[in-house]
Chains A and B, each alone.
Chain A
Amino acid sequence: MVNLEFKIGSLRFKNPVLTASGTCGYGYELEDFINPDELGGIIVKGTTPEPREGNPYPRMAETPSGMLNSVGLQNKGIEYFEKIIYPRISGFNTNVIVNINGNTIEDYVTLAERIGSLDKIPAVELNISCPNVKKGGMLFGTNPVSAREVIREVRKAYNRVLIVKLSPNVTSIEEFARIAEEEGADSVSLINTLLGMAVDINTRKPALPGFTGGLSGPAVKPVALRMVWQAARAVKIPVIGIGGIMTATDALEFIMAGASAVQVGTAIFIDPESPVKIIAGIKSYLENKGIRNYSDLIGCINS
């Protein structure tokens, strides 16, 4: 028997494979393919105080080994989440985590407080890294002063597990990871998407109406891996690795680079069973190598 248990503070995860926000809906959308209870955790779609229509279509452009998206946080708002969605997902036997987003610090604080009153949501992921909105999002996550301020205020208002999702669109990822740690975050997750662009040479226009989008998929994996490695060396809190993880091999690379856990995102679009296959793949790797605790591998490339 191998041990896949992962903890952030006292919060226990049955395994270190979570599904990434914006790629798994609220978990129940995947139920025809997988049992969500088998996941380490589900990070549900980015939620804002007010309902949001998101950006106009088209919102996606395929790119070499990846895709650009510019969804723009379409969601039905916190009230709908509390009343309609929460009752549907509160029975999952895994950690359901809400990704929260706002235009202002007050928005983030309000959301954290409201999520904090929902018994079955043991953690929030503070999204200060969405590249597809005009206000909030990445504007917080790429400025050290505002990043510090929003994390500090949310930390005061929220006493459960606080994960801060970092943007890769910065010069020094270590700086932002340290800010999160100093302000009392329990964990950092990275990377959100990389700001990118594509042009349609037939229409002679940008592929996305807002010109830029967030790049995800295997194309970003080496960048994500490097940033996870840097962040994990800079802080003591657990780092959750995200970025182009398609297979157990990818997940193990992140763990060996220093991630305590991983999130699977874009892979779900191609294979909705991939998160569960990745869990199985990590397990069989450990069995084959005779390693009892996956945690022995965390950051092992540094030693």
Chain B
Amino acid sequence: MAKRSEDFRVVNIKYLNELHFILELEGTKPLPEIKPGQFAQIRIDNSKNTFLRRPFSIHDVDYAGNRLKFLIRAIGDGTRTLGTIAENRMVNLIYPLGNSFSLPLPREKVLLVGGGCGIAPLLYLAKFMNRSGVVPDILLGFRNSKSIMESDEYSKTGRLFIITEDGSEGEKGLVTGHTIMKDLGAYGRVFCCGPEPMMKAVAELAKASGTECEVSLENMMACGIGVCLCCVVKSSRGNVCTCTDGPVFNIKDLQW
């Protein structure tokens, strides 16, 4: 699908907690086909310390309303500015970028594992799977009960498990310590997005149990379209761009 540069109207910014917000945008023309795992490069015009675009996973897609949602952590000047843009202002997107998660086989048992803001691409992925009749198990890890986000949304798309580091909701610990991870071999595929140490730990367990595992990387990038060669990751084929060869990689292709 062709990539586009397009202005979107800010429909709504909804804060989920102190740091995270959902940015809902509306395009002026019909959306192109968007695959789960793809991302957009958003230009942030009113942040004087933000020169480059910022890449964000597409969190949800509403084709009927030409709307896209992004789950964003306000962590630097750019994302903080984005989180305070007034409704109806326009922002420019380059999208849809990157590859996508693979589609499970019919009746395949699938597990989605997300941590913190890394849960972002998993909602659209789950909804996408639902359309072909796959209902995934979803394991989301957060710091504590207050930092849990979007659990209502995720629970509509699959069987949801929560784990928190302090045990204030769900099981206590990290995602890799959750009960269902003990039976990872029962799943045909695990899709994972979160902090890199978490993804690496999940990848280790997946390898040990022989489960196919795909991870979504968030390497720093400038262009997002495969020309600057800044976002590379070492793969079995040498250095490849996270933006065009990823962001989703089968762990077999990474030197993890």
Contact = CB atoms under 8 A, between A and B. Distances in A.
Interface in A232-282: 266, 268-273
B167 to A, nearest CB: 29
Contacts of A66: 51
A211 interface: no
B51 A32 contact: no
A139 to B, nearest CB: 22
Given A54-B239, A59-B232, A268 B2 contact: no
A211 B239 CA distance: 20
Interface residues of B, number: 29
Contacts of B236: none
A266 B4 CA distance: 19
B225 interface: yes
Contacts of A62: 50-52
Contacts of A218: 51
A179 interface: no
A74 B239 contact: yes
A29 B221 CA distance: 16
A74 B225 contact: no
* Range, interface on chain A: 20 to 34
Interface in B220-237: 220-234
Contacts of A57: 219, 231-234, 239
A22 interface: yes
Contacts of A67: 51-52, 222
A58 B4 CA distance: 27
A111 interface: no
24 contacts: A23-B227, A29-B226, A30-B227, A54-B229, A54-B232, A54-B239, A57-B232, A57-B233, A57-B234, A58-B219, A59-B230, A62-B50, A62-B51, A64-B49, A66-B51, A67-B222, A69-B222, A71-B229, A74-B229, A74-B232, A74-B239, A218-B51, A269-B222, A269-B223
Interface of B: 2-5, 43, 49-53, 94, 219-234, 238-239
